[in-house]
Chain A
Amino acid sequence: MRSTLSPPVDASGRSAGDQVEDGQNAGKDRSGAVDLTIARHVPWSKRLRRDRTMLLLVLPGFLYFVVFHYVPLLGNVIVFKDYQPYLGIQGSPWVGLDNFQIFKDPEFLSALGNTVKFALIQLVLFFPAPIGLALMLNSLVGTKVRRFVQSVVYLPHFIGWVILVSIAQQLLGGAGLVPHLLGSLGLPQVDVMSSEGFFPWLLALQVIWKDAGWGTIIYLAAILNIDQEQYEAAAIDGANRWRRLWHVTLPGLMPVTILLFILNLGTILSVGFEQILLQRDAVGAGASEVLDTYVYIHGVVDGDWGTSAAVGLAKGVVGLAMILGANKLAHRLGHDGVYQR
């Protein structure tokens, strides 16, 4: 069962990273190397015996990942079959690439278009929001005020989509507060919850309300990790606060920003599945369908198993390709990205 993925470090079951973590061995590369060669000579049977308790602890979790994350990957063979529930996966007839005909379906193309549109709007509106908020929070000198604001802005992250959409319905819906206010100002009372044109912006607003505050955690940590002496040096050289922001803080945030951007790209085709599923009735499928809701409605609800699985598979592959591609790009530009070269 030896891994083919990382044989050199796997031989002893520990990597260079692990050794540093061992505390005692940190900084003593030589003794670590000796340790490695000794470990290599310990036969498998002996190591299994030595680690049996720990292996026993790991086993249930390992089985979980195999059963619920790797077995479903095999289930994707139904993409090449005309899957009939009563025949089962093995009994259903092979159909080759017929299921991929779905990619010519105008409904699919509309779902794809919506997905890309929503994703781009959220990338532009949502992605910078936590950075801005983190910069503002960081500029607060008083600890108490900062902690209070932090507790407030983190909270919506823990609110589920059903609750959030219910609240939005109450405030923005036809008889809600916002149309009421607009009316009393003499403006047209639009029901933004059921307006097709506003839908992408509504989604973005909800995402910002829910997660912009939570997103600041990592950026704030990155800001605090910037060496204070850099600020001091910049200040002595005559840089005012904006200059320090531009030449010290923002460059310091770059690695984290790039990392989160790449991760964002990987999930870009999964924009707001639950969020949209909960609100699609109000605006109709044409304006709101995205790839995930398309797969759910066509597959689970309508029973077009093979074709919707094809869409799901394609979506997963594109997402993976985007992560790898973006990472490559980050490496080209001299950053680390999600993983190192």
Chain B
Amino acid sequence: MTTSTRPVTPVTLRKSTGRPPWMERPSRIGLAFKVIALVVVCFLVIYPFLNIVATSFATEQEITRSDGVITLFPHHPTLEAYRAIFEGGVVTRALMVSIGVTVIGTALNMIFTVTMAWGLSRPIVAGRFVLTTVLLTMLFGAGIIPNFLLVKALGLYDSYAALVLPGLISAFNFLVLRNFFMNIPQELIDSARIDGAGEFSILIRIVLPLSKAVLAVVALFYAVSHWNAFFNAMLYLSDTEKWPLPLVLRLYVLQGQQVGVDSGGVAEAVPSIQAIQMAVVVVALVPILLVYPFLQRYFTKGVLTGAIKG
């Protein structure tokens, strides 16, 4: 496959950094305007994160004194808020549920999406028919009520399976993988077959190692959606013991319920409610912020292989 057949050059792979000879130098005013605009944009994105992290480390006194506004750094950072939420038990349990659902859910998503995408990446009997059934689902949805009734009828209500099974394969992610698999040179597969490899070992030993970047992006998309899943959990889990992190977050931060801390009336260093709330937000954010830098460079490639060709 020569480079000219590649549909688009991913942004992050662009090499030419120099200004083409015909392009004029930017005017000073234009440059200044651009720099200011970009700094403002970046600030507006980054600042909210800094603010909640700062607030989560602030002491009660500082929050009261500053009217609830910790602008960038608390003067006496403390871990009290974090101690409080992890002692309460509710947040810890929700965190475990979220981690479990994310890990198992993503693994199942990947297994089913990869096998289907690989199976349909080559011309097989009835392949067009199956592909059409998948693509049509992108145009319509049955609606909330019929989906809810189906989950109930299948006996999945109040079980973690209800968070995983209804979204087992995303048509979009399936397309991303299928398009990528279709671009794997047929010669490679043929030569593996001549060497005696079966369909499964071709998939596992040839195809998957070649697709690491795309697999990482698709897995990230799935994992993020499980991690942030809120509506399905609210719809299908009536048992609050089973609640994942987003529902607990909603309960504590948006509905203002107090975290179950038994301070036993000892007024000594009770962290501020606001700090506790922001600590829960930070706990929910950390996994995303940890994974993000490692996968970020694959986004463009992953998104574009599936989205638009040419």
Contact = CB atoms under 8 A, between A and B. Distances in A.
Provide the main secondary structure of the chain A interface: helix
Nearest to A319: B140
A224 B8 CA distance: 8
20 contacts: A13-B123, A18-B123, A54-B199, A57-B116, A61-B112, A61-B115, A61-B174, A64-B168, A68-B166, A145-B38, A159-B228, A162-B254, A165-B254, A170-B52, A175-B69, A217-B304, A220-B11, A221-B304, A231-B23, A299-B145
Interface string B274-291: 100110010011001000
A161 B277 contact: no
A313 B299 contact: no
A: interface residue count bin = 35 or more
A225 B10 CA distance: 9
Interface stretch (B43-51, B74-82, B257-265): B43-51
B45 A2 contact: no
Interface string A314-341: 0110011001000000000000000000
A51 interface: yes
Interface of B: 1, 8-12, 14, 17-20, 22-24, 34, 37-38, 41-42, 44-46, 48-49, 51-52, 55, 67-69, 71, 112-113, 115-116, 118-120, 122-130, 132-134, 137, 139-150, 165-166, 168-169, 174, 182-183, 185-187, 198-200, 203, 224, 227-231, 235, 246-247, 249-250, 253-255, 274, 277-278, 281, 284-285, 288, 292-293, 296, 299-300, 303-304, 307-308, 310
Contacts of B228: 159-163
Contacts of B165: 68
Given A57-B115, A309-B146, 9 more contacts: A13-B125, A23-B187, A58-B120, A74-B146, A145-B38, A166-B281, A170-B274, A218-B308, A309-B145
A278 B254 contact: yes
B304 A180 contact: no
Contact of B200 (A53, A60, A308, A320): A53
Contacts, number: 318
Nearest to B125: A47
Contact of B42 (A13, A152, A180): A152
A312 B139 contact: no
A117 interface: no
B119 A143 contact: no
Contact of B143 (A61, A158, A316): A316
A152 B45 contact: yes
Contact of B125 (A44, A295, A299): A44
Counting chain B CB atoms within 10 Å of each CB, which of A13, A149, A176, A236 scores highest? A13
Contacts of B146: 72-76, 78, 309, 312
Contacts of B52: 166-167, 170
Nearest to A221: B8
A220 to B, nearest CB: 5
Nearest to B1: A23
Given A72-B142, A217-B303, A58 B137 contact: no
Nearest to A22: B186
B292 A155 contact: yes
Interface string A113-146: 0000000000000000000010010011111011
A151 to B, nearest CB: 5
B17 A141 contact: yes
Contacts of B125: 13, 44, 47-48, 50-51, 55
A123 to B, nearest CB: 20
Nearest to B152: A85
A28 to B, nearest CB: 13
Interface in A38-81: 44, 47-48, 50-51, 53-58, 60-62, 64-76, 78
Contacts of A150: 11-12
Counting chain A CB atoms within 10 Å of each CB, which of B143, B246, B303, B310 scores highest? B143
A277 interface: yes
A239 to B, nearest CB: 10
Contact of B129 (A2, A53, A140, A313): A2
Contacts of B198: 53
B59 to A, nearest CB: 17
B67 A175 contact: yes
Nearest to B246: A162
B68 A218 contact: no
B129 A3 contact: yes
B292 A60 contact: no
B127 A13 contact: yes
